[in-house]
Structure 1
Amino acid sequence: MLALSLNKITKSYGVDVILQDVSFTINENEKVGFVGKNGAGKTTLFKILTGEITPDSGEKFIPKDKKLGYLSQNLGLDEELTVFEETMKVFEDIKSIEYRLRELEVLIAENANDSDNSNYEKYLKEYGRLQDDFEKKNGYGCESFAKGILVGLGIGPEYLDKSISLLSGGQKTRVALSKLLLQNPDVLLLDEPTNHLDLEAINFLEGFLRDYRGTVIIISHDRYFLDVITTKTFELTNGVVEEYGGNYSYFIEERRTRYKQRLKEYELQQKEIERIESMIEKFRSFNREKSIKQAESREKMLEKIERIDKPLLDEKSSRINFECKVKSGVDVMIVDELSKSYSDRKLFENISFMIRREERIALIGENGRGKSTIFKIIKEDIAPSSGYIKIGKNVQIGYYDQEQRELSTHKTILDEIWDSFPHMAVKDVRNTLAAFLFTGDDVFKEISLLSGGEKCRLALLKLMLSKPNFLLLDEPTNHLDILSREALEEALLSYDGTLFVISHDRYFLNKIINRILELDENSITEYLGNFQYYIEKKNANDDDLVVSTVGKTKTQVKEERKKLRGEREKIKKAKLEIKDIEKTLEKLESEIASLEEDLCNEEVYSNPEKSLEVNTKINNNKKKIDELYERWEILMEEVEE
């Protein structure tokens, strides 16, 4: 059934056409991803759906019984309430029922012995009706459900009694998102829902949305998230929406296929037009009545052709290219027994690892664990509590700060680049800025007036021009649209230096990274693969755990990993043999039961030869069972060790 639809929606701001004749239909329970570059109009479209913005023309249809839920930038949280009080406002109707039930319990008790029991009966009936309603609305479980959502999105139990006013901006967004999910709307509109969430919270949200019994429409630059959740993709480009019947990865492949097909159709038509025009010119050159008529006939044919516009693939993105000025030594960085605490708060302690030339490593862990702090220690912006970091020979560090504190907000874009690289000619500076989509008068904009995505591009440009051989990137894909993310990824894949990155972008981690370091309070654990490999190992059983690298050389880690692989293979074989034994035991015991039934048949027990034959089979099977059980016990001990 229909969840909502738009028909020829148009919206402009001045001369800028944001949406042009946008039409689409979304059905119940569909999970739809909206993609498109920054400024394409995705959020405007959401606000039209919610009624915050009125379109210039077109029609919107949402069935009256459908409730929309939308997380807007204005979170609307009561700063004076605690986190739990604010969250439980979602269940005000349930709480009012509960309050009335408590009132009725008192009234029923007071009227129980009244000779005129009309009030008593009335209160009992109301109590029964409200009790049913309370149970149907999950009155007994709503508080634990709310706490579960909050904790799942990273608002731990220690925050539940804290005032909203004491939370960070990201935490407030999580509380607002929790409230939205608890409202259980028929149509859920989510605009960049994974912003401010760490990996655990994102995994929780993915699981929640996969099982969500309703329509979900998502605007997101998190391509991994879109792949996991969505079954349909709408691309908004040049004011027009185009539909694709699959997730993000399907959309990427299908978009290329459609572009190639349309380009082929356009080129074929152009050739046909050229052929007809050539014939017209040729006929007219004869300058005879018959040939002129033929030319006019061809001209009419040409007029009737419905012209195909040349297809445009909207891939206007920054042209990023990272190079190394010099080559570093093989050992880029050694971290030994590193610890950091603030007063009585310990971020991490005694972590050790090594980075070698041309490795692509990601540092992951929950928010607040100290990942960015490690980067600042590497840059010598802060000192560790204990331990040390040794930087290798000829290592030149380039640092990307997710908050762009390296940029001078009072400068213009042009001055920021020119002051940092004064040897560059004006023409070269302008050309380089143009490659990063800063053209015309844009270069005279003050940095304080730039959007988050523009600041990201400028910071990446400065990094590129400095030509470091060791890149420290702290959340480099934040604020970048999908095209810019893909441009950055392609640049990093061809980069011949060393990469150390902090990121929650799992698509990025899958594509770029070949080694992951997970940071927790007590240690750092190494995974020799990309994000998908990391997930597989994290979801594995206890016998599939990876090796801790704390205080070990690479050779020791390699030997220990080899030993573990051998043990895992041995256990894997043991488990397979256990399954085979259990199947054989089941078969033998079934045969024994059948044979024992045969012994009860007169034709068997009255015949000594047949009786002996059946008994022999039973005894042989029992002997096999005893042997198999002995083997089964040995194997189980191997598996459980």
Structure 2
Amino acid sequence: MILACQNISKSFGTDQILNDISFHINEREKAAIIGINGAGKSTLFKIIMGQLQADSGEVIFAKGSSVGYLAQHQDLSTENSIYDEIMTVKKDVIELDNSIRRLEENMKTVTGRELEQMLSTYTRLTHEFELKNGYAYKSEVVGILKGLGFVEADFNKPVTALSGGQKTRIALGKLLLSTPDLILLDEPTNHLDMESIAWLETYLLNYNGAVVVIAHDRYFLDKVVSKVVEIENTKAICFEGNYSAFAEKKAQQRDAMLKHYLNQQKEIKRQEEVITKLRSFNREKSIKRAESREKMLDKIERVDKPVMEQSHMSIRLEPHIISGNDVLTIKDLSKSYDALKLFDHLNFEIKRGERVSIIGNNGTGKTTILKIINQLVSYDSGEIKLGAKVKIGYYDQEHQVLSSEKTLFDELQDTYPHMDNTKIRNILAAFLFTNDDVFKRIKDISGGERGRVSLAKLMLSEANFLILDEPTNHLDITSKEILENALVNYTGTVLYVSHDRYFINKTATRILDLTNKNLINYIGNYDYYLEKKPVMEMTASSAHHNTSFKAEASTSESNLTETKMDWKLQKEEQAKLRKKQNELKRTEEEIQKLETRNEEIDTLLVQEDVFTNVSKLLELNKEKKTIEERLEELLLLWEELADA
């Protein structure tokens, strides 16, 4: 065991944040601390690191162990370059290397006993140098920097010129290079692109020490951790396994708790009815028995009703009108900023009902594409065409669609003047803004809260084409899952940019990978993308750099490349899936229609003018039998289609 937290409690004023938190971390174990925003995760890390004093409890480290901590926000104040700053971690190795070089020079000019002493020192120093991986420390530093998304051209940039996110990456690099026995990471994936996150996953999995991480990236948690500590309602519960295993166990646990609660409530109600009945007999014995039961009822330890996850935030997205089948068509789209060319001759189409995710490294132009479609940014060349009856709802990660000086209440009222005060308050309450919160100004609330306001406006827009830029940023895991369900059940069309791979995996029906200034198309979710990526990229790299997947798909069948064949197969698979989905929907509609008619017949059969009329009775019974037989067939068909 390398870390033990025993009975940690912490309050701020009258607000209890942590209450009797206990868990332990074993050597080399990879664990996650999860919970909704404000649950106390970062507070717990600060208590572990001694930056905050707990009200009670203790933190115990293994004797002689070293601990490294990455906070969410870093403020590196140094004049060093990126490379020199991260090299400060290897100061002892560099000094050792310099000492060895000096000894080598000095040994050339001495003999005898002095030479023997120098050779002995040289042997000791080179052995220590080897133990500290001295012969590979430069390549180790370069590997860390590249893994975290820096290219060699960045190495000489001064740290002072970097953004907050880039400084956090430098701090993460320094922490990883220092190789402590225990690493605490608070949201390490926030400022990393997908490739860097994948690199970090592999690095942490192979890391020789223990890792405890706070993260909302569920895909990352699935890959890295084998233990989950959930903080909920000030308490902590430990689960063995990754995030998906935790989610499954948590759902089972919640269902069991709810079942236990409902059964207890049922028994309490039954006992109360018996007590009332016994008292109503108004006899001495019956009253005594009632009193005895009351005493037993008072001794029962009441189970609290479990808080259901859906009570945190409520989102329902529904288009007001249905768009045409062709929602968006983009041809030969190009965009540059001075000498920087983001993309060239992009071609793609989006059909009604699709949920398309644009992915790619930071700086490739994903957000720019969304802004161009929304006419917020101009483009150099190309054509953008929206389909018939398309109404766009736009979610901007920078929340520029919000007026910073307005209150939350005014923001909604001014956008939707037909809504009365009660409805506006109800909508804001659904997004966790209650009481005087609704009169806060946009500029005075956090990024996560602004995100919730933007989602509230989006829900009210009744748009049939949602364009979302990083919609899960600043949302806790529960809120992300609620948004996922809303999008999956949304009957309109969605185009979005996200780095949240778990979110993409749950919601995307198609992925557009913006790489090498062009788009590669994958008809499937994120797992499908990972499976097909090596083959698709290999084929795409051999094609002309100006050829988009749309142009490839339209060439003659005799000239189809492997990529185009794959595209064609994907289209066929999607067409089959849509056919099955449509058949499933038709089957459900027919089942509902027949069940409604069946109920109507049942109502008619008990009417006197019907059951006294033999011919009418026979006719209805015959129809009911036919319906029952057809329902049996449809239910079997529904099961087959649902399984498929």
The answer to whether the superposition gives a TM-score over 0.5 is: yes
Cα offsets for 1:425-472 (capped at 9, x unmatched): 111111111111111100001111111111001011112222222211
In structure 1, the residue matched to 2:215 is: 220
Query: Is the CA contact 1:155–1:174 (under 8 Å) kept in the aligned structure 2?
Result: no
In structure 1, how many angstroms separate the alpha carbons of the residues matched to 2:351 and 2:100? 67
Secondary structure in 1 matching 2:551: coil
In structure 1, the residue matched to 2:158 is: 163
In structure 1, the residue matched to 2:139 is: 144
Secondary structure in 2 matching 1:362: strand
Query: Is the CA contact 1:346–1:521 (under 8 Å) kept in the aligned structure 2?
Result: no
1:193 matched to 2:188: yes
In structure 1, how many angstroms separate the alpha carbons of the residues matched to 2:567 and 2:448? 48
Structure 1 residues 557 and 187: CA distance shift in structure 2, 3 A:
farther
1:317 matched to 2:312: yes
Aligned residues: 563
1:11 matched to 2:6: no
> Given the alignment, which residue of 354, 365, 390 partners 1:359?
354
1:130 matched to 2:125: yes
1:241 matched to 2:240: no
In structure 2, the residue matched to 1:31 is: 30
Query: Is the CA contact 1:337–1:386 (under 8 Å) kept in the aligned structure 2?
Result: yes
In structure 2, the residue matched to 1:433 is: 428
In structure 1, the residue matched to 2:335 is: 340
Query: Is the CA contact 1:349–1:521 (under 8 Å) kept in the aligned structure 2?
Result: no
In structure 2, the residue matched to 1:49 is: 48
How many Å apart are 1:107 and its aligned residue?
2.8
In structure 2, how many angstroms separate the alpha carbons of the residues matched to 1:391 and 1:558? 29
In structure 2, the residue matched to 1:96 is: 95
In structure 2, the residue matched to 1:456 is: 451
In structure 1, how many angstroms separate the alpha carbons of the residues matched to 2:415 and 2:567? 54
Query: Is the CA contact 2:317–2:459 (under 8 Å) kept in the aligned structure 1?
Result: yes
How many Å apart are 1:217 and its aligned residue?
1.2
Tell me which moved more, 236-245 or 417-426: 417-426
Structure 1 residues 476 and 563: CA distance shift in structure 2, 3 A:
closer
1:395 matched to 2:423: no
Residue ranges of structure 1 left out of the alignment (5+ in a row) = 569-641
- Amino acid of the structure 2 residue aligned with 1:129: R
Secondary structure in 1 matching 2:108: helix
- Amino acid of the structure 2 residue aligned with 1:528: I
Query: Is the CA contact 1:340–1:386 (under 8 Å) kept in the aligned structure 2?
Result: yes
1:416 matched to 2:411: yes
Query: Is the CA contact 1:155–1:175 (under 8 Å) kept in the aligned structure 2?
Result: no
In structure 2, the residue matched to 1:583 is: none
How many Å apart are 1:294 and its aligned residue?
5.2
In structure 2, how many angstroms separate the alpha carbons of the residues matched to 1:567 and 1:37? 43
In structure 2, how many angstroms separate the alpha carbons of the residues matched to 1:279 and 1:364? 63
Query: Is the CA contact 2:310–2:482 (under 8 Å) kept in the aligned structure 1?
Result: no
In structure 2, the residue matched to 1:530 is: 525
Structure 1 residues 411 and 287: CA distance shift in structure 2, 3 A:
same
In structure 2, how many angstroms separate the alpha carbons of the residues matched to 1:562 and 1:134? 50
Query: Is the CA contact 2:72–2:187 (under 8 Å) kept in the aligned structure 1?
Result: no
In structure 1, how many angstroms separate the alpha carbons of the residues matched to 2:233 and 2:50? 23
Structure 1 residues 43 and 292: CA distance shift in structure 2, 3 A:
same
Structure 1 residues 309 and 140: CA distance shift in structure 2, 3 A:
same
Query: Is the CA contact 1:32–1:218 (under 8 Å) kept in the aligned structure 2?
Result: yes
1:465 matched to 2:460: yes
Structure 1 residues 109 and 424: CA distance shift in structure 2, 3 A:
same
In structure 2, the residue matched to 1:564 is: 565
Query: Is the CA contact 2:254–2:306 (under 8 Å) kept in the aligned structure 1?
Result: yes
In structure 2, how many angstroms separate the alpha carbons of the residues matched to 1:477 and 1:375? 16
RMSD: 2.6
How many Å apart are 1:551 and its aligned residue?
4.8
How many Å apart are 1:367 and its aligned residue?
0.8
Cα offsets for 1:403-435 (capped at 9, x unmatched): 111111111111111111122111111111111
How many Å apart are 1:28 and its aligned residue?
1.5
Structure 1 residues 242 and 52: CA distance shift in structure 2, 3 A:
same
Structure 1 residues 304 and 357: CA distance shift in structure 2, 3 A:
closer
In structure 2, how many angstroms separate the alpha carbons of the residues matched to 1:210 and 1:249? 17
Percentage of matched positions with identical amino acids: 49
Structure 1 residues 542 and 228: CA distance shift in structure 2, 3 A:
same
In structure 1, the residue matched to 2:591 is: none
Structure 1 residues 56 and 461: CA distance shift in structure 2, 3 A:
same
Query: Is the CA contact 1:329–1:357 (under 8 Å) kept in the aligned structure 2?
Result: yes
In structure 2, how many angstroms separate the alpha carbons of the residues matched to 1:371 and 1:48? 39
Query: Is the CA contact 1:352–1:551 (under 8 Å) kept in the aligned structure 2?
Result: yes
Query: Is the CA contact 1:29–1:216 (under 8 Å) kept in the aligned structure 2?
Result: yes
In structure 1, how many angstroms separate the alpha carbons of the residues matched to 2:206 and 2:175? 16
In structure 2, how many angstroms separate the alpha carbons of the residues matched to 1:348 and 1:563? 21
Tell me which moved more, 51-60 or 555-564: 555-564
In structure 1, how many angstroms separate the alpha carbons of the residues matched to 2:17 and 2:66? 26
Query: Is the CA contact 1:398–1:469 (under 8 Å) kept in the aligned structure 2?
Result: yes
- Amino acid of the structure 2 residue aligned with 1:95: I
How many Å apart are 1:264 and its aligned residue?
2.3
How many Å apart are 1:383 and its aligned residue?
2.0
How many Å apart are 1:375 and its aligned residue?
1.4
Structure 1 residues 273 and 391: CA distance shift in structure 2, 3 A:
closer
Secondary structure in 1 matching 2:307: coil
In structure 1, the residue matched to 2:498 is: 503
Tell me which moved more, 77-86 or 301-310: 301-310
Structure 1 residues 453 and 558: CA distance shift in structure 2, 3 A:
farther
Query: Is the CA contact 1:323–1:469 (under 8 Å) kept in the aligned structure 2?
Result: yes
- Amino acid of the structure 2 residue aligned with 1:11: K
Structure 1 residues 444 and 212: CA distance shift in structure 2, 3 A:
same
In structure 2, how many angstroms separate the alpha carbons of the residues matched to 1:557 and 1:375? 31
Query: Is the CA contact 1:537–1:545 (under 8 Å) kept in the aligned structure 2?
Result: no
In structure 1, how many angstroms separate the alpha carbons of the residues matched to 2:317 and 2:151? 40
Query: Is the CA contact 1:356–1:498 (under 8 Å) kept in the aligned structure 2?
Result: yes
How many Å apart are 1:564 and its aligned residue?
3.0
Query: Is the CA contact 2:334–2:379 (under 8 Å) kept in the aligned structure 1?
Result: yes
How many Å apart are 1:311 and its aligned residue?
2.5
Structure 2 counterparts to residues 69-88 of structure 1, below 5 A: 69-88=68-87
Secondary structure in 2 matching 1:75: coil
Secondary structure in 1 matching 2:129: helix
Cα offsets for 1:252-292 (capped at 9, x unmatched): 11111111212222333344444555566666677777666
In structure 1, the residue matched to 2:60 is: 61
TM-score normalised to the size of structure 1?
0.82
User: Which has the higher Rg, Structure 1 or Structure 2?
Assistant: 1
Structure 1 residues 342 and 435: CA distance shift in structure 2, 3 A:
same
Residue ranges of structure 2 left out of the alignment (5+ in a row) = 570-644
Secondary structure in 2 matching 1:81: coil
Structure 2 counterparts to residues 476-625 of structure 1, below 5 A: 476-540=471-535, 549-552=548-551, 556=555, 560=560, 564=565
Secondary structure in 1 matching 2:511: strand
- Amino acid of the structure 2 residue aligned with 1:23: S
Cα offsets for 1:445-500 (capped at 9, x unmatched): 11111111110010111122222222111111111111111111111112222111
- Amino acid of the structure 1 residue aligned with 2:352: R
- Amino acid of the structure 2 residue aligned with 1:101: I
In structure 2, how many angstroms separate the alpha carbons of the residues matched to 1:424 and 1:75? 43
